[in-house]
Structure 1
Amino acid sequence: MADRPRRIFHIAKELNISHTEIIAFLNEEGITVGSHMAPVDDKDYHKILTEFSKDKESIERYRKEQMRREIHDTRFRDTQ
C-alpha cells in the first residue's frame, strides 16, 4: 500500500466518479464502509479499479471525441 492509505473520495476523484458509487459497489461486494473518508486496502482498491476503470476509459474516449468534433466545427466555421 502507499505511504498514506487510499481513501474512497481520493479514488472517486481519480476515476472521476461519485464516491457514493464506490460505496454502493463495496457494499454489494460485502465490504462495509463507514464513509467517503474510509481507507481502502490494496485488494479492495484493485476491485474498484477493475470495476470502474472500464467506465473511465469509455468516458475519456467520449470526451476526446467531443473535443475533436468541437475543434473541427470551430475550424470549419472560421474558414467560412
Structure 2
Amino acid sequence: MARTQTQKALRKAERSGKWCSEQSRRVNGDYGALSQHVRLMPTKQEKLQKVKHKKQIIQDGGASFYFFQCVRKSA
C-alpha cells in the first residue's frame, strides 16, 4: 500500500529529528478518550428488564400500606 503524504512527512521529521505539523494531528485513540457519547434510548436488554420488573410488581399485589397506632402512657 502506498504511503500518504502525511506518513511521508512524519517519517521524514522522525529521521531528521525535526517537528512537523502532522505530528500534532490526533489519532483515533485520542478521539475515543474525548468521547462524551451517552446512549439516549435504552437497549433492548434494558427494555426487557424494565418489563420483567413491572410484571413482578403487579404479581406482588401492588403497594402495601401499614398503619401503626401510637399509644402514649400517662405518667
User: TM-score w.r.t. structure 2 length?
Assistant: 0.25
**Bigger radius of gyration among the two:** 2
Specify which structure has the higher proportion of strand: 1
Select the structure with the greater relative contact order (CA < 8 A; seq sep ≥ 6): 1
User: TM-score w.r.t. structure 1 length?
Assistant: 0.24
